Structure 1
Amino acid sequence: MSSRHTDAHSALWPSHGVTVLDGDRTPLDLDELFGGGAPKVLEIGFGMGDTLAAMAAADPDRDYLGIEVHTPGIGNLLAEIQDQDLPNVRVARGDAMQLVHRLAPGRLDAVHIFFPDPWPKARHHKRRLVQPQNVALLRDRLRPGGVLHCATDWPHYAEAMAETLDADPGLEPLDHDRAGRPETKFERRGVGAGRPITDLRYRRSTPNRS
């Protein structure tokens, strides 16, 4: 990490960081983590964190928790929290689905999955994040009406995402809107390579009331 990242990590990780350990099922209280009861947004795989920081800055009435495994990105997001004074952002390191297991059902207002690894080779498709079992768990953690927003620049992955999301009985298609999502470096790279950008937004169904 750069000195900027290292300084931010030293200053903020004790109060803003969460280490996710394999097999740990200890419930994670998000209100305690953020110090308040605002709606919560989870971004999985935030990369360098620029998109998360921009969205959190533009949306101060919601709290943003990002999870990533790469140290440079974690350091950069912590530096952005410090530089932009973002009290509504927290950072987790580790496996995303391990983290999701620790959250209470219905706890999230939104989940963002922007440009996840497409694992383009057929033999690697099982490693993709947007799989039926993962989607079912994420949907369970959304409140009724909460939104799962995915984006990709790989057409085949976009088709597979749509099929998986359409098949989940607790989700309903919302739209293909960017919904305020800033352009990412992965997106620019995809556009430069001539790949189309696909946004998929689905909403957790609201139970029928008789």
Structure 2
Amino acid sequence: MTEKRHPSGAPWRNFYGRFRGKTLRDSQKTYLDEDLAALSPGPVGWDVNPERRPLDPGAVLGGRPLWLEIGFGGGEHLVHLAERHPDRGIIGCEPFINGVAMLLGKIRESGAGNIAVHPGDARDLFDVLPDASIGRAYLLYPDPWPKARHHRRRFVTPEHLAPLARVLAPGALFHVATDIPDYVRQTLQQVPRHGFDWLAEGPDDWRTPWEGWLSTRYEQKALREGRMPHYVVFRRHGGAG
């Protein structure tokens, strides 16, 4: 049987989320046309980097130490993070183009100059990031895929966690926030299997947001609907953090 392949010749990866939602406003189309290319972290996609040549971290965002937000939604937390930490370069991954457009509008309003944007699957970015090149990562309110037969589509699976662990530096922190108890269960089961320690010492460590937290619109929806947020933090093996 012939293996299904990407038009570039690469092995095909299934992606189960959405790429596009409601019609973009004219202003959002302008942001995408005028701003997105300049905010790229480098040649990431298979169409522009089919050989999967590694990115040079020193050439991304002025050589700042790099942090990563996976699935940034509307971008409010990512911009908040960039404003609080101007000495860090923040790379955001998000395949949903409406969310990308929302982020670009927020970047214009903020003026933050330490953000790079990959408008696609985080796994494609992992392919071209060197080992231990990311100092911190965030996964905030990811798609819960609530049906049991869809749990393999969640981010907290080996297909995503193994490359994430490779690109995180020793001692790097991995922050996860979710309002879905079963997502917490799978996170606590899977993440430590890939070279991480859970840092909680008591219940308040997963009930209380970490310092500098900005409550996102997804969290506000969860609170309105009576769901409890959970905040779990892991440390990559091999460093003091």
TM-score > 0.5 by shorter chain = yes
Per the TM alignment, residue 121 of structure 1 is displaced from its structure 2 partner at its CA by 0.2
Instruction: Rate the CA distance shift 1:188–1:139 in 2: closer, same or farther, 3 A.
Output: same
Q: What is the alpha-carbon distance in structure 2 between the residues aligned to residue 171 and residue 75 of structure 1?
A: 33
The superposition leaves residues 6-42 of structure 1 with CA deviations (integer Å, 9 ceiling, x where unpaired) of 23223322311357435842322233231x2211111
Report whether the alignment pairs 1:59 with 2:85.
Answer: yes
User: Which structure has the bigger radius of gyration?
Assistant: 2
Please give the TM-score of this superposition, normalised by the length of structure 2: 0.79
Tell me, in whole angstroms, the C-alpha distance in 2 between the residues paired with 1:82 and 1:125: 36
1:11 to 30, 34, 48: 34
Within 1, Cα distance between the matches of 2:128 and 2:218?
A: 29
Matches within 5 A, 1:52-201: 52-168=78-194, 170-175=195-200, 176=206, 177-201=209-233
Normalised by the length of structure 1, the TM-score is: 0.90
Query: When the two structures are aligned, how many residues end up with a matched partner?
Result: 206
Structure 2 contact 172–239 (Cα < 8 Å) conserved: no
Given that 1:41 and 1:108 are in contact with CA atoms closer than 8 Å, whether structure 2 keeps it comes out as: yes
The structure that is strand-richer by fraction is 1
Q: What is the CA RMSD across the aligned residues, in angstroms?
A: 1.9
Identity %: 33
1:54 aligned counterpart, secondary structure: helix
8 Å Cα contact 1:65/1:89 also seen in 2: yes
**Aligned twin of 1:21:** 45
The aligned counterpart of 2:59 is: 32
Structure 1 124/80 Cα, relative in aligned 2: closer, same or farther at 3 Å?
same
Gaps of 5+ in 1: none
Partners in 1 of 2:36 and 2:218 — Cα distance?
26
In the alignment, structure 2 segments of 5+ residues that lack a partner are 1-23, 201-205
Give me the whole-angstrom Cα distance separating, in 2, the residues matched to 1:41 and 1:166.
20
Q: Which has the higher contact order (CA 8 A, sep 6+)?
A: 1
Residue pair 1:107, 1:143 contacting (<8 A) in 2 also: yes
